[in-house]
């Protein structure tokens, strides 16, 4: 098991962790994006299907492990922390206490996401965006900004290798912006060849895979891909 892949972004030395979290050692800062806590609750409420209700537990367990291993003093959740507002309101009391335990003694920031825009009933700061030492943390990338770290897109690499299609969530960055993979257990991914990511990322964009093999490679560019 490796301990992460270190890289330079906008003058900061950052580490892409296998779990999909980002570690900024200089600030003892752990960043996670798109936790989508309470997703199963929302699915049941809205569609009637009842998927295994263990994703909140599993996501928090992985977050707890990352916090413990890194010894983070600051935590930023980059938005879409809850699948919707009702999911945060319906949070199981045990999980609510668990989050409070994780927060205690740490500087904790909830960034607003498109799924959970209103202020949350949990502790910590609630912000539309947040800046630390020149780096701006937002939920959705702003094409006009730079030195910006965001989530939202759930980037995922699909790479054909010798007739096999390998699919992994990944970190995506260029000179201006860094996009984190989704951290939540029940999250799908958006293929890097999708128009939205292709148009957002500048030349020289790179990818670092989440998971056990944290390879780093150039972002695949699909010349035929239309920008939607």
Partner 1 sequence: MELPAKITDWFTTKGWSVHPHQQAMLDRAENPTTLLIAPTGGGKTLAGFLPTLAELASAPHDGLHTLYVSPLKALAADIKRNLRTPVDEIGLDIRIEDRTGDTTQTQKKRQRVDPPHILLTTPESLALLTSYEDAPRMFRGVQRVIVDEIHALSESKRGDQLMLALAALQRMCPDMRRIGLSATVEDPDAIARFLAAHPNPCDIVHADPGPPPDIQMLQIDEPPPWSGGGAKYAIPAVLDEVRKHKTTLIFHNTRAQAELFFHNLWLANSDSLPIGIHHGSLSKEQRQKVEQAMVDGTLKAIVCTGSLDLGIDWGDVDLVIQIGAPKNVKRLVQRIGRANHRYNAPSKALLVPANRFEVIECVAALAAVKAHDLDGDDRGSGPRDVLCQHILIAACAGPFHADDLFDQMTTAGAYAGLSRKAFDDCLEFCATGGYALRAYDRWQRLLQRPDGMWQLRDPRAAQRIRMNIGTIQDTDTLKVRLKNRGGGKPLGEVEEGFAATLTPGDTFLIGGQIVRYEGLREMTVEVTRRASDKPKIATFLGTKFATSTQLTHRILNMMQQDDWPDLPDHTRDWLKLQKQVSFMPKADRLLVESFPHDGRAQTVVYGFAGRNAMQTLGLLVTQRMEEQGLSPMGFVATDYAILVWSLDPVLDPAPLFSRDGLREGLEKWLSGNAVMKRTFKASAHIAGLIERNLPSNRKTGRQATMSSDILYDTLLKYDPDHVLMQITREEALRGLVDFGRIEEMVDRIEGRIDHVVLDRLTPMAAPLFLEPGRVPIKGMAEERLLAEETERLMVASGLADVDKPKRWAVPF
Cβ(159)–Cβ(166) under 8 Å? yes
Interface residues for partner 1 in 83-102 (CB under 8 A)?
90, 92
Question: CA-to-CA distance for 222 and 218, rounded, in angstroms?
Answer: 12
> For the window 67-86, what string marks contact with partner 1 as x by the rule CB under 8 A?
--xxx---------------
Cβ(33)–Cβ(181) under 8 Å? yes
Candidate segments 117-125, 126-134, 135-143, 161-169, binder of partner 1 by CB under 8 A: 161-169
Contact between 218 and partner 1 (CB under 8 A)?
yes
Contact between 162 and partner 1 (CB under 8 A)?
yes
Q: How far is CA 129 from CA 28, 109, 120, 142, 165, in A?
A: 19, 9, 15, 11, 36
Cβ(17)–Cβ(166) under 8 Å? no
CA-based radius of gyration for the chain: 17
Q: Is the CB of 80 or the CB of 124 nearer to partner 1?
A: 80
Contact between 194 and partner 1 (CB under 8 A)?
yes
Q: Is the CB of 106 or the CB of 127 nearer to partner 1?
A: 106
> For the window 104-133, what string marks contact with partner 1 as x by the rule CB under 8 A?
------------------------------
Contact between 1 and partner 1 (CB under 8 A)?
no
Question: CA-to-CA distance for 12 and 17, rounded, in angstroms?
Answer: 16
Q: Which residues contact 156 (CB under 8 A, 6 or more apart)?
A: 167, 168, 169, 170, 181, 188, 189, 190, 191, 192
**Which residues contribute to the site for partner 1 (CB under 8 A)?**
2-6, 15, 23, 25, 40-41, 44-45, 47-55, 57-58, 69-71, 90, 92, 153-154, 156, 158-166, 182, 185-191, 193-194, 204, 206, 209, 212-213, 215-218, 222-226, 228
């Amino acid at each position: 098991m490796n301990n992460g892949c270190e890289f330079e972004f906008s003058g900061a030395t950052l580490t892409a962790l296998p779990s999909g979290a980002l570690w900024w050692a200089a600030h003892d800062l752990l960043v996670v994006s798109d936790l989508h806590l309470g997703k199963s609750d929302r699915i049941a409420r809205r569609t009637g299907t009842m998927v295994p209700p263990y994703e909140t537990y599993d996501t928090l367990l992985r977050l707890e492990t990352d916090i413990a291993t890194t010894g983070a003093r600051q935590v930023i959740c980059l938005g879409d922390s809850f699948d919707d507002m009702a999911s945060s309101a319906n949070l199981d009391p045990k999980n609510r206490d668990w989050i409070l335990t994780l927060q205690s003694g740490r500087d904790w920031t909830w960034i607003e996401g498109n799924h959970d825009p209103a202020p949350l009933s949990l502790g910590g700061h609630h912000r539309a965006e947040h800046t630390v030492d020149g780096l701006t943390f937002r939920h959705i990338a702003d094409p006009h900004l730079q030195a910006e770290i965001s989530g939202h897109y759930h980037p995922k690499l699909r790479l054909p290798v010798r007739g096999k299609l390998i699919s992994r969530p990944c970190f995506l960055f260029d000179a201006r912006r860094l996009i984190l993979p989704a951290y939540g257990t029940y999250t799908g991914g958006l293929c890097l060849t999708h128009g939205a990511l292709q148009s957002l990322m500048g030349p020289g964009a790179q990818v670092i895979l989440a998971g056990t093999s944290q390879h780093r490679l150039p972002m695949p560019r699909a010349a035929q891909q239309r920008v939607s």
